[in-house]
Amino acid sequence: MDANTAEWIRSRRPGTVEPAVPKLLTVIRHAKSGPHGPGTKDFDRPLNRRGRREAPEMGQRLAGLPDPPSLLVASPARRAAETAEAIAAHLEPAPEIAWDRALYLGAADTLLDVVLGLDPVHAHAALLAHNPGITDFVNRLANADIENVPTCGVVRLEFTIDEWRLAQPGRANVIDFDYPKRP
């Protein structure tokens, strides 16, 4: 047996396994959008004046935190896309933005499926989608009791897992819940 094999065997003994590196998931609801107009599809609704003001504000708040997300997976609906781009513009380094149609009005189970498929190279990822899926998703993952994640609300979750495929309901901790009107 060579020295590398012996070291590997020793490292697998009970009590010697390294703890998982925490994974951070930032869950964001899109900013405030305008009402349905005549002939406007829900998917195409843009941000309203308040949403255009609050999305960059939340981007600035996130920029002030350590370890920004390296990946932002967002619904391609116009209001979500505008929110994602406004937030990402304030993060350094800017995260990769991936558009996922499943996040458009996706339920909590759909959002979890997206997270389970994330590349483990991303220690911190962000998910930007819609309610009621966002609120249900956060509450399920963290056994939280958040009544409503408001528009442009941001919930930061921490998992003690090595790979996103191990994220399961009840395994996350809420480490921050912020929103534009937070006192």
- Render each residue's pLDDT in the chain as its tens digit; 183 residues: 554 444 444 445 555 455 567 899 999 999 999 887 788 899 999 999 999 999 999 999 999 998 999 999 999 999 999 999 999 999 999 999 999 999 999 999 999 999 999 999 999 999 999 999 999 999 999 999 999 999 999 999 999 999 999 999 999 999 999 999 987
| Residue 8 is assigned to a structural domain of this protein | no
Distance of alpha carbon 62 from alpha carbon 159, whole angstroms? 19
- The answer to whether position 12 is within a domain reads no
Helix residue ranges per DSSP H, 89-163:
108-116, 133-142
Q: Give how many domains the chain has, as a whole number.
A: 1
- CA 83/CA 85 separation, integer angstroms: 6
Fill in the DSSP letter of residue 39. T
- Is residue 93 included in any domain, yes or no? yes
Asked, for residue 7, whether it belongs to a domain, the answer is no
75 in a structural domain: yes
For residues 122 and 162, what is the distance between their CA atoms, to the nearest angstrom? Answer: 10
What is the pLDDT, as a whole number, of residue 48?
A: 97
Which residue, among 1, 76, 168, has the nearest Cα to 157 in the 3D structure?
Answer: 168
Extract the tokens encoding 172.
């996350």
Q: Does 13 fall in a domain?
A: no
Instruction: Tell whether 10 is covered by a domain.
Output: no
Residue 164 pLDDT: 97
Structural domain harbouring 164: 21-178
Question: Is-contact 43 143, C-beta < 8 A?
Answer: no
Q: What is the CATH number of the domain that holds 127?
A: 3.40.50.1240
